[in-house]
A = this chain, B = another copy of it.
């Protein structure tokens, strides 16, 4: 076997011990909040039948799904490079040695079915829909679930974009109540402020408001074009949006009506008041406004006790986020402390499970972008120093006698729930200290002849360099 210099597959990452502690801090914080709000964890398999996934993410999405080769595929297939058969007529009838005609598989789907029938999860939403449909008879509605698992996309890797990354999704299906929407705002608020973020915005919009606006302008069919354009306000400004709207079939007169809505300013209350005037003639639009008002009212009641709303809650009618999918409230979360895309988002969808034949099941859910949150916390230096500590105390190993003396002691620490190590050989002390340093172990216990004789061990604080003599029980007290 020749030795191969190992490398990572493109777009993937190893996570070191320090990174894992930090990642776990994010996952654990988010999961703890999910649980406190009554959400329960599920997991779905890493791969699904290809038929479960294809057609759910659009043509572009389908291309980014990682397909898994059927086992045994090689036993009955031959593959040709197309470049060698450019001469072949359209139908790809081929002739083998003795001129027997042979038809190649020529349709892409035909090909795909022949060689792959499974694919890696692309997101957590479609597997969740499948889960709900397959488990519908054992689920009691409303079904509140969260799911924290990796997903895979065959995207071109670039800074901050990986082919394997984690999604943290929380959804409830089978409840129309806007209390759910309000609780997601509190979940974002609690999880992100617990992680140390101090200035972040939860933007909210409602599909029905957008429908109302398109209706008022008299272009209900152009709602998608309208929202795609105004969604870009941040990036291309009002002029850019106007230009795009004109290109997409709106008139100057439409723009006159749209402009005040796009540029809506003031407090959420002021915006809602303006919208009620603008949308006075649209039942749908007014319903959207009423939904937002109800959500705000729920949030106010909920936060009347305890943790305040750290997040800025902003009505933003330029927010669209894959509008085709959402039917009610739409959310997006951004930090204002670091330049970074959205660190979360979601909304209400009225037909999640329709793709699998279960109609009229409403749901609402949001997602945390754990990888981006990681980058934000790292940049703002918000990970606690304790996040880098695994082992709390290392007992150094001088010689066989000291080792023998130390064996029950290291176990005594562990039994007290303190992560402890005995250096496994009597290497040079310098080496043992370097080991403690490299692992960010905050305390080292030195045991030599004096310590064995007196029963008082030397405890070294690795940060301050300070040393003191203490009994095992004294050290236990101190480290607990």
Point out residues on A near B: beta carbons under 8 Å. Answer: 1, 3-9, 12-17, 20-21, 24, 35-49, 51-52, 55, 63-64, 66-69, 71, 74-85, 87-89, 92-100, 102-106, 108, 111-112, 114-116, 118, 120, 130-131, 133-135, 138, 140, 142, 144-145, 150, 152, 154, 164, 172, 175-177, 179-180, 186, 190, 298, 301-307, 354-357, 390-391, 394, 403-404, 407-412, 414-415, 417-422, 424-425, 434-435, 438-439
Contact = CB atoms under 8 A, between A and B. Distances in A.
A379 B423 CA distance: 39
A97 B102 CA distance: 10
A111 B293 CA distance: 61
A47 B301 contact: no
B36 A417 contact: yes
A277 to B, nearest CB: 27
Contacts of A186: 411
B68 A66 contact: yes
B112 A74 contact: yes
A136 B15 CA distance: 14
Contacts of A81: 76-78, 105, 114
Nearest to A41: B20
B66 A42 contact: no
A154 B105 CA distance: 25
A413 B450 CA distance: 54
Contact of A424 (B106, B175, B417): B175
Which DSSP category, helix, strand, loop or mixed, fits chain A's interface?
Answer: mixed
Contact of A85 (B96, B414, B418): B96
Contacts of A177: 424-425
Given A6-B130, A44-B14, A78 B85 contact: yes
B69 A40 contact: no
A411 B302 contact: yes
A379 to B, nearest CB: 21
Contacts of A152: 46-47
Given A4-B51, A37-B421, A79 B407 contact: no
Count the copies. Answer: 2
A135 B19 CA distance: 14
Contact of A79 (B105, B140, B144): B105
Given A74-B108, A79-B79, A410 B302 contact: yes
A97 B105 contact: no
A360 to B, nearest CB: 14
Given A79-B111, A179-B422, 13 more contacts: A3-B357, A13-B45, A16-B135, A36-B420, A38-B420, A46-B46, A66-B68, A77-B80, A78-B92, A78-B105, A79-B79, A303-B411, A305-B412
Given A16-B42, A79-B77, A94-B95, A140 B438 contact: yes
A301 B84 contact: no
Q: Which of A4, A175, A357, A403 has the most CB of B within 10 A?
A: A4
Given A97-B88, A176-B425, A407-B301, A47 B164 contact: yes
